[in-house]
Chain A
Amino acid sequence: MPEPAHDSGGLEERLASFAPRVYGLLLRIVGHRNVAEDLMQETMLRAFRALPSYRPEGKFEAWIFRIAVNLARDWIRHRSVEPVVGLDDCPEMPIGKPDRYAAAPDAPLDARERAARVEAAVARLSATDREVILLRYYADMPFKEIAQTTREPLGTVLARAHRALAKLGNLMPEDEP
């Protein structure tokens, strides 16, 4: 992706274009739609305000996802209730209604059911394992960059990804994609 435009109008649109993916990442980390929306907005605002100090050492979007993950971690750390470990604990993301949160609404029913199963399995992963595979999926980050973002050793990140993806893989029949 080209470097960000520094005029505020272009930047506003560019940031807005990232909103769905950043929201998707946050939604699956925090498990609450309203919280994910708030954090998404805060992510974009912080990126906007920090842009003068942004140094293009990596991908612009990776920088934004890093801000998002840090905000999500802060939110999880400071909230007064225990973390929601499964989306089935969250009334805003009920399992069994996959058409709302998982696959695209126009996807075939079978795909939506499978997506719902995956959604539930992702929600049951540990927060740290989930964060790694979500960064990989939503932010397209190489594992080395994920390690920098999560401030964990590369080996730890790879072990988390291996464990998480093996769990998801076991959900899928061997002859399915």
Chain B
Amino acid sequence: MTTCPKPEELMLYVAGELPPDAARALEAHLASCGRCAREAATIRRGQDALRLLDREPTVRPEAMAALRARLRQAAAERRRPVILSLARRYGWVAAAAALLVAAVYWHGYEPNPQPVPQPGTTVKADFPASTDALDEVAVAVELLSANLNSASDLPAASNGTDAGGASTDDVIDDMHLLLEYLSGGSGSRG
């Protein structure tokens, strides 16, 4: 290289991002051009100066705690839409019933008659195992039960028993969706 490189090219060279052939040519130029060599040295010192800054400054513990809390909340919210969409479509009772049936089916149990939760009642999932998935089911059932009487959070079906005119096929499809949700990350169905 006989002519001086453009600043952009010199920057790429100092950053180590110039292709090898071009880098060798530029190196040869620097060996014979004091002005460019000084310029390259200045940029290198600029890079070194940046390294004086703390790259991982301490985040205040309360900010980290808030971050973790918000991430946990986001993780919880990620699990809710299937259940809530069921409730909005069919009503809370129908959604709760679907959830219970799906949970029993998922767990590989002969379905003993399970009472459809009545408004205001708390439903406990009566399963012997306490896998994470079943815990989630129990939490979801609690959520649904809690919402049966919640006037502020009633689904579009407006009362807890309205199936919203959905067909049986729709219900089955959504139950399969629910099963997929329940099985997610927990291996195959039992």
Contact = CB atoms under 8 A, between A and B. Distances in A.
Given A158-B11, A166-B43, A168-B45, A48 B71 contact: yes
B182 to A, nearest CB: 15
A158 B8 contact: yes
A169 to B, nearest CB: 3
A19 B24 CA distance: 39
A165 interface: yes
A41 B63 contact: yes
Given A143-B12, A172-B48, A174-B45, 19 more contacts: A8-B71, A19-B64, A20-B58, A24-B55, A41-B66, A41-B67, A45-B70, A48-B75, A102-B53, A133-B46, A136-B50, A137-B53, A158-B7, A161-B15, A165-B14, A166-B42, A167-B46, A172-B45, A172-B46
Interface residues of A, number: 57
A32 interface: no
Interface string A155-177: 10011011111111111101011
B55 A102 contact: no
A45 B71 contact: yes
Q: State which size class the interface on B falls in.
A: 35 or more
Nearest to A144: B17
18 contacts: A37-B59, A40-B63, A41-B67, A44-B67, A48-B74, A101-B57, A118-B50, A121-B49, A122-B53, A137-B55, A143-B15, A143-B17, A144-B17, A162-B10, A166-B46, A169-B42, A169-B45, A172-B48
A177 B48 contact: yes
Contact of B57 (A15, A20, A137, A168): A20
Contacts of B78: 8, 49
Given A44-B71, A104-B54, A169 B59 contact: no
Contacts of B71: 8, 12, 15-16, 44-45, 48
Interface in B94-125: none
A60 interface: no
Contacts of B49: 114, 118, 121, 165, 168-169, 171-172
A162 B42 CA distance: 10
Contacts of B57: 20, 23-24, 27, 101
Interface of A: 7-9, 12, 15-16, 19-21, 23-24, 27-28, 37, 40-41, 44-45, 48-49, 101-104, 111, 114-115, 118-119, 121-122, 133, 136-138, 142-144, 154-155, 158-159, 161-172, 174, 176-177
A174 B37 CA distance: 13
A122 B14 CA distance: 19
A137 B56 CA distance: 11
Contacts of B60: 37
B80 interface: no
B185 interface: yes
A166 B11 CA distance: 10
B53 A115 contact: yes
A24 B56 contact: yes
B47 to A, nearest CB: 6
B72 interface: yes
B52 interface: yes
B176 interface: no
Contacts of A27: 57
B28 interface: no
B173 interface: no
